[in-house]
Homo-oligomer: A and B are copies of this chain.
Amino acid sequence: MGERDELFDQDAGRRKTIVEALLFAAEEPLSARRIAGILDDATPSLVVDLIADLDADYLREGRAFRIREIAGGYQIVTRPDLAEWVASLHGPGSPPRLSQAALETLAIVAYKQPVTRAELESIRGVGVDGVLRTLVERELVRIAGRAEGIGRPLLYGTTDHFLEYFGLPGLDALPRPDELEVLFADRERQTELELEDEEAGGEPGA
């Protein structure tokens, strides 16, 4: 093999590795065009070849993943025959994310407990039936008794699972309103719906 070919091979190997890194780290399927744009010295069709090459590597080496073409792009995905194993990762351990409504309602329950549905609705300004049901189902909120007075409405409170979920050692570890001010004050500007990406790092004043 001439020196030239060797150089070429090195280059091809380097490109293949970069393509692999890109496919691995991307959040969504990447088109050959996009990859070629990043590589800068490769055409989309070369990229397609490199991807085929990678996929062949995975097959030959018995890797747990393959490359699949999705939505006009390429993506590394786990092999279908391993699906049941992968699914066990996402078992009951990770229920869907709480909605903002659920989070708000939960926050009020945590701070105002024991609290009636009417109180929750008056603070949030909207009905909370569905949200409350979800929270009870997910064992973040429990029925904590009945209020005195007309109709003796149900009272709601948080559960032990609530503490666990948020990593709180106990209910009294919830910051008091004055402590909340310290932890979350000054967000006025940012609360104006995040006009700038707020993670502006540096904390000059501190």
Contact = CB atoms under 8 A, between A and B. Distances in A.
Contacts of A146: 172-173
Contacts of A206: 99, 101, 126-131
A205 interface: yes
A155 B205 CA distance: 23
A112 interface: no
Given A64-B24, A202-B96, A143 B168 contact: yes
Interface string A139-159: 000111110000010110001
Interface stretch (A1-9, A41-49, A55-63): A55-63
Q: Is the interface of A mostly helix, strand, loop or mixed?
A: mixed
A113 interface: no
B199 A95 contact: yes
Contacts of A64: 17-18, 20-21, 24
A31 to B, nearest CB: 12
A18 B81 CA distance: 10
Interface string A162-192: 0000011110110100010011111000000
Contacts of A144: 169, 173
Interface of A: 13, 17-18, 20-22, 24-26, 30, 38, 57, 61-65, 76, 78-79, 82, 85-86, 88-90, 95-99, 101-102, 126-134, 136, 138, 142-146, 152, 154-155, 159, 167-170, 172-173, 175, 179, 182-186, 199-206
21 contacts: A17-B62, A17-B63, A17-B82, A18-B82, A18-B85, A22-B86, A30-B89, A95-B201, A99-B201, A102-B203, A126-B206, A129-B206, A131-B206, A132-B183, A136-B183, A142-B167, A145-B170, A146-B173, A152-B172, A154-B179, A155-B173
